[in-house]
Copies of this chain bind each other. A is one copy, B any other.
Amino acid sequence: MSPMNPRIPCPMNIITDIAAMQQTASRLRREGKTIGVVPTMGYFHEGHLSLMRRARAECEVVIVTLFVNPAQFAPHEDFASYPRDFERDCQLAEAEGVDILFAPTAEAMYPDGYETFVTVENLTQPLCGASRPGHFRGVTTVVAKLFNITQPHRAYFGLKDYQQCKVIQKMVRDLNFDITIVPCPIVREPDGLAMSSRNAYLSPAERQAALALHRALRHAEQMVKAGERDARVVRDAVQAMIAAEPLAWIDYVEVVDAETLQPVEQIQQNTLVALAVKIGRARLIDNTVIDAVR
């Protein structure tokens, strides 16, 4: 039971029933426990595990939610084929000292006649919102539900999904959720590829091609470090580096204000370079926040 030995994990409670999860969360709240939640779609990689570790370090009770949310996939997207491995996910979460894994069914989350949605109107328009209409409505709706069910004090999200972090922070502020959103750094493979469950879709050749994303973002950072301030020049350079990769199909490359997500002309403080690229079946996203003033 010692947290010093990860091979003898604490027993993790697996809850699938919404009412049972809610009652447990209410009880923990009454007991004065600090609850941290890590919302996930499962198929855990080091990115997810880093969120669990951060929650474990900061909260008395760690809840991981595992739900592949149909509401955030468009009909033509990869909901059905999204990678799943519940057994392995349980083992990995338990090894991180997670207290509760909450894994509801889609039927319980969206029963017949479901019709309530949470929308963040403006922050969801650019970037991934432009290429995935309805996606963020599905995200904010399910996250609002998961917050009401798990009643966290703190919630952990990875910055690979940068726009998602910003959209959820906005929802939390606007709807007065009494929750602190903790954005956590992107975790990368040793060669630089941002960790993603969708990396599992990549063939070896595609996996190699996917390195162009990270390489192009590093190049953008170097350009700004060398004095370049014209957003279009940086954007074009990133785009050209990725376009040079025959297996890559660019969805978008944008240079935007890191708070408003609106395009900038000049790179100044807090500028986000964000991109989405299709490689084979995988739509991959990555980003970097650049601060030109130092």
Residues of A near any B CB (own CB < 8 A): 18, 22, 26, 29-30, 32, 114-123, 140-141, 144-145, 148-149, 151, 170-171, 174-178
Report the minimum CB–CB distance from A40 to chain B (whole Å).
18
Contact partners of A170 in chain B: CB under 8 A: 115-116
> Are A148 and B176 in contact, with the CB atoms below 8 A?
yes
Contact partners of A117 in chain B: CB under 8 A: 118-119, 121
**Interface-centre pick from A115, A149, A170 (highest chain B CB count, 10 A):** A115
CB contact between A175 and one of B29, B32, B123, B144 (< 8 Å): that residue? B144
CB contact between A145 and one of B30, B116, B121, B176 (< 8 Å): that residue? B176
CB contact between A176 and one of B123, B149, B175 (< 8 Å): that residue? B149
Report the minimum CB–CB distance from A70 to chain B (whole Å).
15
Report the minimum CB–CB distance from A89 to chain B (whole Å).
22
**Interface-centre pick from A140, A141, A176 (highest chain B CB count, 10 A):** A176
Some 24 contacts from A to B, beta carbons below 8 A apart, are: A22-B178, A29-B29, A115-B120, A115-B121, A115-B122, A115-B123, A115-B170, A115-B174, A116-B140, A116-B170, A116-B174, A116-B175, A117-B118, A117-B119, A117-B121, A118-B118, A119-B119, A141-B175, A144-B175, A145-B174, A145-B175, A145-B176, A148-B176, A149-B176
Closest to A31 in B: B30
Closest to A167 in B: B116
A115 to B177, CA, bound (A): 15
Contact partners of A175 in chain B: CB under 8 A: 116, 118, 141, 144-145, 148
A213 to B148, CA, bound (A): 40
| Contact A18-B176, Cβ < 8 Å, known A30-B30, A30-B32, A32-B30 | yes
Contact partners of A121 in chain B: CB under 8 A: 115-117
A178 to B114, CA, bound (A): 17
Contact partners of A151 in chain B: CB under 8 A: 178
Contact partners of A119 in chain B: CB under 8 A: 116-117, 119
User: Which A-B residue pairs are the 3 nearest by beta carbons?
Assistant: A116-B174, A148-B176, A115-B121
Contact partners of A144 in chain B: CB under 8 A: 175
A145 to B145, CA, bound (A): 14
Closest to A118 in B: B118
A22 to B175, CA, bound (A): 12
A22 to B174, CA, bound (A): 14
Closest to A141 in B: B175
Report the minimum CB–CB distance from A132 to chain B (whole Å).
18
A32 to B32, CA, bound (A): 10
Given contacts A118-B118, A118-B175, 10 further A-B contacts (CB under 8 A): A22-B176, A115-B121, A116-B121, A116-B170, A117-B119, A144-B175, A145-B174, A145-B175, A148-B177, A151-B178
A228 to B115, CA, bound (A): 34
